Amino acid sequence: MRILLWHGYLLGGTGSNVYTRALAREWSRAGHDVVVVCQEREAARYDLAGARVVVPDLPGGMLPVFVLDRYAGLRPKLLQDTTAAERHAYVEANAAVLRELLPADLVFANHVLMGAAVGAASGAPFRVKAHGSELEYSMRGRPELEAWGRESLAAADATYVGSSHIRDVLEDVVGHVDRVFEVPPGVDIDEFVLQDRPTALAALVEEARNDPPNPGNAHERLPDDDNAKRLERFLSGDEPTVVYFGKLIEQKGVQVLLEAMKTVDARLVVVGFGPFRARLEALAGPRTLFPGPFEHRHLVHLLPLADVTVVPSIFPEAFGMVAAEAAAAGSPPLVARHSGLAEVAAGLEETYPARFQGLASFETGNAADLARKLNELLALTPDDRDQLRRAARQTVVERWSWPSVAARLLAPVS
């Protein structure tokens, strides 16, 4: 098949970016002709298995976003703050690029808005992946955007959601949508693997040595400067280790984790970038390290060092990709029990031995419950810990590998 894969943003860092990159790679590996239309200007950094990247010029450099971040050379603006004229110009600029790349067997677009609108304007058969961020952060409670999303999805051959939670959110925000299919995101089970501690730490430090310079940590999307020495010093020894990785915004609930850590005897690594970082650093205890954002090349070695990976989000999540990646690397996830995260926890608990089944989730926003679960996990014997980490990986292998996800997204629909 010839597939045009449209994504409005980059190919690294956040969930939908990683999702797009993984699909491009898997579809290319499967022998499809894939062109990715996105804003990634450094695509050579990523393994796309031969997929080509095309970058549309955006009118006035305006990029509609759901959370304000910095994008080099672009002017991000919250979707709900854009004018109708700006939205129309953005959709037409992207759809024109898709039309130039036709013919294609399929246009696959990310996000209800702007993806469904761009797909519909392309004039080609298209499918849409709803990620949830657009629905919760920008569309909910805004009738004009809700109606536009509903009208755009009506033309799609299929709309995919990553969990039953997002299926409910989609219907709640835009109304009934026909041809909705539930396909969870995937995890690269060949990249996220079990590693022993010395091997993982040595590899993590080596990856940090290969980071680009970032004097004064001026670039928030790059890892902090001098991370190799900091990581080697901080993660040496056998002290229990807790990890968070993701956006540093209030909705992700890192503040709940920092509160819980006051009564947990462990060190904490908080990975990510975002406007909440300075506030979180002020709240953090002395046994906390903020190394900035990491790429997969770092995370595949950091996660095997983590006795627990916490996903403390206080806002609905489409799916617990962070939790699934941690589980694949043998770091048992502990997630807030809501939305798509609760579905990941349920999947883990089906595989866990009975005595561990309460240790995959905690009450949302409850720092005391999180601290209690963390202390239970960290008190496990080495044999129990090894059994739990292997059970966590087994769950991912059986449920959430990328090749199976990519194939399901191309399956015939009716």
Separation CA 335–CA 246 (nearest Å): 13
12 belongs to a structural domain: yes
Residues 213 and 171 in one domain: no
pTM to 2 decimals?
Answer: 0.75
Q: Are residues 84 and 132 in the same domain?
A: yes
- Please provide the distance, in angstroms rounded to a whole number, between the alpha carbons at the two ends of the chain: 19
Residues in contact with 77: Cβ distance below 8 Å, sequence separation at least 6, in sequence order = 62, 63, 64, 65, 86
Residues near 83 by Cβ (< 8 Å), separated by ≥ 6? none
> Rounded to whole angstroms, what are the CA distances from 265 to 261, 309, 325, 361, 365?
8, 15, 25, 19, 20
- 398 versus 125: the higher-pLDDT residue is 125
Domain end (from 183, 206, 227) = 183
Residues 221 and 355 both lie in one domain? yes
Taking each continuous run of H as one helix and of E as one strand, the counts in the chain are: 16, 15
Question: CB of 241 within 8 A of CB of 305?
Answer: yes
Residue 189 lies inside a defined structural domain of this protein? no
Residue 342 in domain: yes
Residue 229 shares a structural domain with residue 273: yes
Work out the angle between the directed axes of helices 164-174 and 143-153 (0-180°, nearest 10): 120
User: Is the residue at 404 inside a domain?
Assistant: no
In-domain check, residue 178: yes
Please count the other Cβ atoms lying within 10 Å of the Cβ belonging to residue 197: 13
Number of domains in the chain: 2
What average pLDDT does the segment 340-344 reach?
92
Question: Would you give the distance in Å from CA 42 to the centre of its chain?
Answer: 19
Residue 412 lies in a domain: no
pLDDT, tens only, 273-288: 999 999 999 999 999 9
Same domain, 354 and 207: yes
Residues 179 and 204 in one domain: no
> Which residue, 403, 414, 412, is CA-closest to 1?
412
Q: What is the pLDDT of residue 14?
A: 83
Clarify whether residues 255 and 300 are in a common domain.
yes
Identify the domain boundary among 121, 154, 183. 183
| Residue 142 domain-assigned (yes or no) | yes
- Shared domain for 284 and 369, answered yes or no, is yes
Does 149 share its domain with 264? no
Phi and psi, residue 81, nearest 5°:
-95, -5
Is residue 33 domain-shared with residue 176, that is, in the same domain? yes
Residues 335 and 282 in one domain: yes
Q: Name the pLDDT band for 260 (thresholds 50, 70, 90).
A: very high
Per the domain annotation, does 11 fall within a domain?
yes
The answer on pLDDT for 267 being more than 90 is yes
Query: Which of these three, 154, 183, 212, is where a domain ends?
Result: 183
CA-nearest of 16, 113, 12 to 71 is: 12
Please give the residue range of the domain that contains residue 177: 2-183
Identify the residue whose tokens are 């199976």: 404
Q: What pLDDT score does 15 carry?
A: 86
Instruction: Tell me the average pLDDT of the chain.
Output: 96
**CATH number of the domain that 35 lies in?**
3.40.50.2000
- Residues 241, 175, single domain; the answer is no
Annotate 344-382 with three-state secondary structure: HHHHHHHHCCHHHCCCCEECCCCHHHHHHHHHHHHCCCH
